[in-house]
Chain A
Amino acid sequence: MISLLAAQVLNGLAIGMIYALTAFGLSIIKGLLNVPNFAHGAFYALGAYVCYAALQLGLPFAVALLAAFLVPALVGAAVEKLGVARLMRGPYLYQLLFLFGVALVLEQLIIIIWGTSGLSATAPEWLQGAFDLGFTYLPKYLVFNGCMAAVTIAVVWLMIERTRLGSQIRAGIDKREMAQCLGINVAGLVTTGFALGAGLAGLSGGLVLPLLGANSTMGAEMLSIAFVVLVIGGLGSLYGALAAGILVGLIQSVSSVFAPAASTVLIYVAMVATLMIRPQGLFGER
């Protein structure tokens, strides 16, 4: 039983890092715009399809992953600059509806280009197979997935904590008006932040392609998990997104030992419990 639990903890950590990466991007956008990005799931799906298309063209996996980051990031920048930014002065609801519309349009475009049938891609040869840990098998690709997500989060985190751009983003999140008064180009910052968030969602989609495949409904599925992670972690909290992502992955994986059929429901139970005990989320301030 202990070895089984240990296996599920490792599995949960790897899955949780992907949730954390997706929610991390969502958290950056939520922090900068104060609007939940309803198109986040669509960027995630776009990343998976772009990765698939790149692999079909014969590009190396690393390049396909880079494309899975860059294309959604560019689309995200355009969406922010041409749409969200123009609706900034209007009621909050306008931005929300606009992003919802973007999600629907992106989903339809994906269907028009790639169809409704799911698509598969295999991981590079060196990432195929599993590590035999004696007490369990751990797919190499799952480990790679977790590590890639962890490294990406660390890099973005360092960028936010240690660079000038990062401190400007933090200032934009924490004290938007003050940052503007200090001469920081908040509009440009928001576009950059939105592109970064969308890119991270796209990268998550690219990373999960060999495990989950690409299908037109994948965005909606991941969006609901990303929002659960965001709520548990605390809206707009980057640390919260990371901790809650891992927590949700662990809940999903470990619960499968005791109550497999309840594993999906349990993450929502965790969200409700968090809201009841600490409505601002684990790392939320308000």
Chain B
Amino acid sequence: MTTGKKIDRRTVLKAGVAALGSSLSGISWAQSGDTLTMGVLSQQTGTFAYAGDLVLKGAKLAIEERQEAILGKKINLLVRDDEGKPAVGVRRLTEAVSSDKLRYFLGNFSSAVGLAELEVARQEQVIQYAAGGSEDFTGSRCSPYTFQWSAHAYTALRATLEYVSKTLPDKKKIYTITADYAFGQSLLHYTQVAAKELGLQLVGNDNHPSGERQFTQYFTKALSTKPDIICLLTAGADAVTAVRQFNSFGVKNVQIVGPWTLEVEQLRELSPAMRSGMILGLNYYQDIDTPVNKAFVERYLKAYKNVPSYAAAYGYDATRTLFLAMDKAKSVEVAAVMKALEGMQFDSIFGPTSIDARTHQTVRPYYVVQCKAPDAMKNEFDLATIVAQGDKPQPAELNECKRTV
């Protein structure tokens, strides 16, 4: 027996219109003046697949610290996977700006993708806080809308090689093995600059393609020049393979140096014996002795049962810096925040930090670590000791940024 009213065509239409109306009001609420949309554009696939999730974890901690709101606006955090491809990154960013009103984003961990996104940020007038190793972010392609979190390649190479030349004065001959893309070539350029300044001799270089799995031929070639140091200017899975295969040579008198080569995640892929004694340059290491970093490491450990690394620190510190700039500007408008960021001096995880007003380079230290021997490790996270740090900025005459403040 049916007691309900008969549902006619008009009722269905009315219900449809009502449903559409409520969903539209939902969209307009999400984009209303009470919400600020920020984003993490990173990758879940490819050489830096591990990094995407870590950048997000770091960014989430910074947002939680602010109770998910800034200047009375609720923060809406978007996550987009760029698959490690510049074209995909550009598409995802354009979509996020037009559909979701994205205004600030962290991207990218890969400089090739980040540099492609830089053009979109400029065109759409949204702020990009980038990582990655290419000097172009703050050099030839510097943009009002892009800021760089990672240390400058010059700062990195100078800090690492300065430590090497001080502690190993007899080791003068360096052979480089370089990743053949923007990041690697940028590091190679500044290896040449820093080596010249420090009186070190470059005896040869090989460029290897991204995704290389066979490095023995490069080492055979390198060892034929009788180098004192092999400098790995590569990153990610390629760097892990290179170190593993160098290890199979069992050569004890050649020092492996890796400025920007291996982060904590990749170090763990090597057995302790394989990495023991390596000298590495790092943008971040968990033992940095500053109040902001100590608090960050403690919260990260509690939240994720792990220590933070480069990617997580980038996610946290860049997001936190954006919030500090919003506080300073007393606004979340892009133009005002951009002005606030330029020349801003603040306390970051690195301690006293500033942002170069013209190039938008974050002026911060770069760290040199030495990997511990297996029996010196206190726990599974204790991989290395910070042995030096340096913050020498890129010489002004080498900067190709055409912007004037």
Contact = CB atoms under 8 A, between A and B. Distances in A.
A270 to B, nearest CB: 15
A265 to B, nearest CB: 7
Contacts of A264: 209, 211-212
Interface in B193-237: 206-209, 211-214, 216-218, 220-221, 223-224, 237
Interface string B75-91: 00000000000000000
B105 to A, nearest CB: 25
A128 B211 CA distance: 25
A120 B273 CA distance: 11
Range for the number of chain A residues in contact with chain B: 35 or more
A263 B217 contact: yes
B213 A221 contact: yes
B274 interface: yes
Contacts of B50: 116-117
Contacts of B247: 122
Contacts of A119: 269
B404 interface: no
B206 A120 contact: no
B240 interface: yes
A243 interface: no
Interface string A249-284: 000110011001111110000000000000000000
A4 B218 CA distance: 11
Interface string B351-367: 00000000000000000
A116 B50 CA distance: 8
A118 B218 contact: no
A264 B213 CA distance: 10
Contact of B244 (A3, A120, A136, A260): A120
A212 B180 contact: no
A136 B248 contact: no
Contact of B221 (A129, A211, A256): A256
A121 interface: yes
B89 to A, nearest CB: 21
A215 interface: yes
Contacts of A210: 244, 248
B220 A128 contact: no
Nearest to A122: B271
Contact of B206 (A15, A252, A256): A256
B216 A139 contact: yes
19 contacts: A3-B224, A8-B217, A8-B220, A117-B269, A118-B266, A119-B269, A120-B274, A128-B248, A130-B251, A139-B248, A210-B248, A212-B213, A213-B241, A221-B211, A252-B214, A253-B216, A256-B218, A261-B180, A263-B209
Interface of A: 3-4, 7-8, 11-12, 14-15, 116-123, 128-130, 135-142, 210-213, 215, 218, 221, 252-253, 256-257, 260-265
